[in-house]
A = this chain, B = another copy of it.
């Protein structure tokens, strides 16, 4: 250890140690980017000076309302400016931000309100019925509701609650913030959208959010003054922490309440969006946009995509439209992305299919992370041979503190000194990780492992297929067989036999789906297909 012979007087003091927190970014930006546009939403444009002042108002008003450091304050909001302000204003009151997924059911929201013990909840007018129903289901009193009336989107306040803007008026635009005294203090609480059982409350600290934000700015090369469009919901891993990152670089946050192809094209053309994130399903909606919704633009938009590997067909279609797609990977437990499919110049000359196959890799360690390796069952790294699968194990500073009030699940997740992701992958010779499946999504057919992702990739090449998802269907002979659920493109047709034959040309027999069902796929709020739902349907077939 690097302690010198004499370390007298060399300890921490007020001048040389400041706990890391994303709050520092906005404190600085309010000064050095004072006149720069910080937040854009429809007719609203606010500078960094205004943004910081509103955050100060929010923090001081929450304190005046009885919020104490360490208390939880929830939000049930779309990606509107109040949601961004909550990312700074709630922590600036020393409180913990609990962004709740707006598409959850009443019962789950009641559970989250109760488990997290939110004292106050900022709720969009459109979501009041949901919040009210959830609170009615609770045993205790539930959080006090502050209503965020999004007049720009046509929502008039209900009149039943204190309004967000009225709350801000009670606050002090120059109030000092309660900064963390320890960077390990809790910053936010994000409930996983668990597919079975109760969601778990993932706790983030100030340090992790700071480091992920800085490291992302570095490796995504966002430059100074990027323009970021909020497609990823801020209730999902706090929007991959981008809202916290932007003030560090004087960037502009363009809020998007409704994610439609038209809104995306408009934001790019009108606001000069340079960066955005989104699941592959969002990329497909851009590709398949109606002509009337498209807008011309002459710069390249950088896109982080996550949630599933971008299908080759998607990449081939979107890149000529002016988007550069980089796959990233992470989980709620890692504050968002922790790997990136870093591109090398030596791949520039490859054919489109080969380029797409590289872009479909999960990627390599991001610079703020320490170690991401595929482990076998004994906790040793698998060989880098492009085929041996194991579980992705993650170690670094943007791994969660743990699950709130669930030390058993926390200990289980951290067994062996790594966060165990539950995702199954192999490593290429050059170290690039490639996810083959979530552990629970693997199909075991006749003793062979079938990657549902591989089967989906094959079907996505069919010109009529817009989206598909493959799950295990119980089978008397093989144990399980692949079963595909497919959405077709508007105006296109295909039948089951045709798609099975198409897949068989590209896949081994045991990997070829035995059934194809045409239907709209059930999706989570973040665009992920809900495979647990499809597995249930496949069982019934």
Chain A residues at the B interface, C-beta cutoff of 8 Å: 1-18, 20, 24-25, 28, 31-32, 34-36, 69-70, 72, 91, 94-96, 117, 178, 180-182, 184-187, 189, 203, 206, 208, 211, 214-215, 217-219, 221, 223-224, 248-249, 342, 344, 346, 364-365, 367-368, 370, 394-397, 399-407, 410-411, 414, 417-419, 430-431
Contact = CB atoms under 8 A, between A and B. Distances in A.
B224 A13 contact: no
B70 A25 contact: no
Contacts of A214: 214-215, 218, 367-368
A221 B221 CA distance: 7
Nearest to A395: B15
A13 B395 CA distance: 10
Given A15-B394, A16-B414, A431-B31, A2 B218 contact: no
Given A16-B400, A34-B430, A419-B16, A221 B219 contact: no
Contact of A31 (B9, B96, B364, B395): B364
Contacts of A4: 70, 72, 96, 186, 189, 203, 404
A395 B221 contact: no
18 contacts: A1-B181, A2-B94, A2-B185, A2-B206, A3-B186, A4-B189, A10-B186, A10-B203, A10-B402, A10-B410, A14-B417, A15-B418, A16-B396, A16-B401, A18-B396, A34-B430, A218-B249, A223-B223
A522 to B, nearest CB: 33
A402 B367 contact: no
A342 B32 contact: yes
A435 B397 CA distance: 37
Given A2-B187, A219-B224, 20 more contacts: A2-B94, A2-B185, A3-B69, A3-B70, A4-B96, A4-B189, A4-B203, A6-B404, A8-B407, A10-B410, A13-B417, A18-B370, A25-B367, A32-B365, A32-B431, A214-B368, A217-B218, A218-B218, A219-B249, A249-B367
Contacts of A418: 14-15
Given A7-B186, A367-B28, A397-B16, A1 B180 contact: yes
A20 B214 CA distance: 13
A407 B203 CA distance: 39
Those 7 A-B pairs whose CB atoms lie nearest each other, nearest first: A9-B407, A2-B185, A14-B417, A16-B399, A10-B401, A9-B410, A32-B364
Nearest to A224: B221
A414 B9 CA distance: 11
Contacts of A410: 9-10
A15 B417 contact: yes
Contacts of A5: 70, 117
A220 to B, nearest CB: 9
A208 B70 CA distance: 28
Chain copies in the assembly?
A: 2
A363 to B, nearest CB: 9
A405 to B, nearest CB: 5
A356 B182 CA distance: 42
Contacts of A34: 430-431
A367 B411 CA distance: 35
Nearest to A91: B2
B15 A94 contact: no
Contacts of A397: 16-18, 20
Contact of A2 (B69, B217, B365): B69
Given A4-B72, A405-B8, A18 B395 contact: yes
Contacts of A7: 186, 401
A191 to B, nearest CB: 14
Contacts of A368: 214
A372 to B, nearest CB: 10
A137 B400 CA distance: 55
A193 B117 CA distance: 57
